[in-house]
């Protein structure tokens, strides 16, 4: 089954404790991206990657890091999480300029 998976689905952590949210897709898509979704603000892009070893900032990259060492994986790293990064995070993948397939989401709470 074609899908985008994210782990963990839920995470409660404390300020400053480094964390990684994994994202993996099995559709051989070149394009992957991370979004955060906050009430009233819609989906805001954090980082995107057009292919292996190629990443670039989206609209709200501050406080986040990403890497794309393999085509299927695109982890999101929060080196020192802060409460303002409490949000719902979605990973997505796409083939060129076509539809994006979203993962199920990761709900992060930073205390």
Partner 1 sequence: GQQVMQIPQYQHVQEGEDFTTYCNSSTTLSNIQWYKQRPGGHPVFLIQLVKSGEVKKQKRLTFQFGEAKKNSSLHITATQTTDVGTYFCAGGGSYIPTFGRGTSLIVHP
Nearer residue to partner 1 within complex by CB, 7 or 100: 100
Interface residues for partner 1 in 90-109 (CB under 8 A)? 90, 92, 97-105
How far apart are CB 95 and partner 1 at their closest, in Å?
A: 11
Q: How many angstroms separate the Cα of 12 from the Cα of each of 18, 22, 73, 84, 108?
A: 12, 15, 23, 13, 6
Within 5-44, the residues that bind partner 1 by CB under 8 A are: 31, 33, 35, 40-44
Q: Does 1 bind partner 1 (CB under 8 A)?
A: no
């Amino acid at each position: 089954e074609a899908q985008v998976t994210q782990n963990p689905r839920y995470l409660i952590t404390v300020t400053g404790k480094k964390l990684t949210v994994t994202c993996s897709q099995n559709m051989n898509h070149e394009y992957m991206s991370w979004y955060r979704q906050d009430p009233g603000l819609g989906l805001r892009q954090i980082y995107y990657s057009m292919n292996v070893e190629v990443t670039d900032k989206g609209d709200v990259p501050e406080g986040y890091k990403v890497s794309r060492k393999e085509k299927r994986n695109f982890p999101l790293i929060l080196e020192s999480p802060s409460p303002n990064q409490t949000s719902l995070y979605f990973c997505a993948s796409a083939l060129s300029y076509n539809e994006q397939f979203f993962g199920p989401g990761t709900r992060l709470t930073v205390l």
